[in-house]
Structure 1
């Protein structure tokens, strides 16, 4: 018996070790099974959910960043499963924008939505007012009237309120000096209401909303004041050209070239001949203008009047101001351009004869776009 005691102790230690190994093995298997379920369960978090949550996907966001946002907002069960799905299914690019997504959606449905591209603006719209790129004061006033307790009439009246304008001028030095002194303008603050979404739920009067927009405009454009001075133009002139370019060009390259065309025209005292300006004068958004339209008696008619015009025609973005300050191909002597409204392509020319040929080439497409636009109203 004495000789067997050590054997029992050794056996006991082996039993304990074996038990520990077994527990670890079972635990490891269990964790592995759990982890696999976490990363491969693509089902909806709550198939019966009826609510939707707004998610903003910022430009350049990785799948992991998007997954974390979706999990934090209670849209998905597992960020790991989302990333795993994107990786293993070779999901196409997840595009930036605002989305309304529901916990009732599977990961497959969510990624399908996210590859289509979201809205450029918040979608719930509660307590917010959105100024869109190239939108004019009348359209902004309509948005304010629809989203707040303030009327369109009082919003527009505030844009020309001299006492209010004076306070804004003092608050944002260098921005509004030329605008306030401008003559023949429809609204003194046209062009100075920066495109963005604004929180207005706590606004007690319409001036507080306008102040937000002008403050943002100052933030965006004050870094360019020195460059504007060096350009030989004043702020009002730059903003006016930028407001035309905002609507005339889509890509940054086209905006830069169009800026060069406009500056070449001003240099030789040619009217800018912008359809955007005539449409503003007529308060119309129709695609094609008639010969009668371009003869309208208005200081905003830049077919009939040379120079910059009274002031901005809409709310331009920084990219359009940059185009004015950094024109492209100005040395090529372009004086004309025409856009194909169907394809978006823009054709530039030095002479009127070349312009006529380019216009003939796009006329059929532009007429078709015009007809479609008219029939949809």
Structure 2
């Protein structure tokens, strides 16, 4: 009887032990090929990996198109388990990521860094709404104290606590205010960092022109020195909106509001900030421009016209009212 193919292979390989070794090597080679082969992902993807074990992760990765076969993923995860556990977080996966790359990402990669930007000049209510709407943050959070949050961009990861993020923003404001106060100019009519924070919030709401902030701060500081009312429209708007944002123009009745935030009726600073000032406004208040100006009014170009005397200021006001009159007569078409 002639020997079959299997017997001929065994004889050619020199025995059963050597045959098994070669066949095992072929299996290992195939496993390595699958392990290193490019995956099916066509475009970069971010995926939140939940807790719950390798089976759940494998199903999620397959559903998202990151891997082809959950069974191959589970086998590879078991085979490479000495490299470390699979983590629950949000990860970014590149196109064509192999099983080896996917597992390395799950074990060692830095989770996706999300960012939340808190703009300058927002009220506490606006900041709360922004934080509550931020995707990926978790947990309830209370309304922060007005002016306690430093406007800037904060990095966070999926699942981070909202309270923790706001606490970071409060610590950042405390540090920024402490540093700015330590570098303040001499002779300012401000008794504490708290007073500087209040005035900075007013400056923040008065202008969006960065170059104007030190000059506007100087006007208010000059008025404080002379015991003149600040007469700041944003403080009245804050009072009229009861701590919110006024969605209409100020009226004459608003200027008569009986509120400690009405700086037309009350001299000195209001009792609390009216918004969250940024670093530039804090520094402007504590290192103001050298100026003896006491007045400013909008100039129609997005900035302000400044004056030292009431007569000069009244002329600037008249020019501003003429600008408003012409705008009312010739409204700009709404872009569509």
User: What TM-score comes out, normalization by structure 1 length?
Assistant: 0.51
| Partner Cα separation in structure 2 for residue 364 and residue 50 of structure 1 | 57
- Which of 135, 143, 146 matches 2:130? 143
Write out per-residue CA displacement over residues 47-91 of structure 1, whole angstroms, 9 at most, x where no aligned residue: xx98799xxxxxxxxxxxxxxxxxxxxxxxxxxxxxxxxxxxxxx
**Corresponding residue SS for 2:296:** strand
**Corresponding residue SS for 1:224:** helix
Structure 2 unaligned blocks of 5 or more: 1-41, 47-111
Structure number having the greater helix percentage: 1
| Partner Cα separation in structure 2 for residue 254 and residue 135 of structure 1 | 19
| Partner Cα separation in structure 2 for residue 324 and residue 366 of structure 1 | 30
Write out per-residue CA displacement over residues 295-338 of structure 1, whole angstroms, 9 at most, x where no aligned residue: 222211111111111121111122112211222242x3x21110
Equivalent residue number for residue 230 of structure 2? 272
- Asked if the contact 1:132–1:196 (Cα under 8 Å) also holds between the matched residues in 2, the reply is yes
Q: Is the alpha carbon distance of 1:366 and 1:312 closer, same or farther for their aligned partners in structure 2, counting shifts above 3 Å?
A: farther
Q: Is the alpha carbon distance of 1:127 and 1:307 closer, same or farther for their aligned partners in structure 2, counting shifts above 3 Å?
A: same
- Which of 138, 150, 154 matches 1:194? 150
Determine whether 1:351 maps to 2:309. yes
Determine whether 1:132 maps to 2:119. yes
Question: How far off its partner does 1:126 sit?
Answer: 8.4
- Asked if the contact 1:339–1:362 (Cα under 8 Å) also holds between the matched residues in 2, the reply is yes
| Partner Cα separation in structure 1 for residue 315 and residue 44 of structure 2 | 55
- Which of 296, 301, 306 matches 1:337? 296
- Which of 301, 318, 321 matches 2:279? 318
- Asked if the contact 1:228–1:238 (Cα under 8 Å) also holds between the matched residues in 2, the reply is no
- Asked if the contact 2:185–2:287 (Cα under 8 Å) also holds between the matched residues in 1, the reply is no
- Asked if the contact 1:203–1:209 (Cα under 8 Å) also holds between the matched residues in 2, the reply is no
Equivalent residue number for residue 297 of structure 1? 258
**Corresponding residue SS for 1:263:** helix
Higher mean alpha-carbon deviation, 125-134 vs 357-366, is at 125-134
- Which of 304, 309, 315 matches 2:270? 309
Equivalent residue number for residue 289 of structure 2? 328
Runs of 4+ in 1 over 6 A off after TM superposition: 49-53
**Corresponding residue SS for 1:294:** helix
User: What TM-score comes out, normalization by structure 2 length?
Assistant: 0.57
Q: Is the alpha carbon distance of 1:366 and 1:150 closer, same or farther for their aligned partners in structure 2, counting shifts above 3 Å?
A: farther
Q: Is the alpha carbon distance of 1:200 and 1:295 closer, same or farther for their aligned partners in structure 2, counting shifts above 3 Å?
A: farther
Structural RMSD (CA): 3.3
Q: Is the alpha carbon distance of 1:313 and 1:372 closer, same or farther for their aligned partners in structure 2, counting shifts above 3 Å?
A: farther
Paired positions, count: 220
Equivalences for residues 153-164 of structure 1 within 5 A? 154-156=141-143, 159=144
Q: Is the alpha carbon distance of 1:268 and 1:277 closer, same or farther for their aligned partners in structure 2, counting shifts above 3 Å?
A: same
Question: How far off its partner does 1:207 sit?
Answer: 2.5
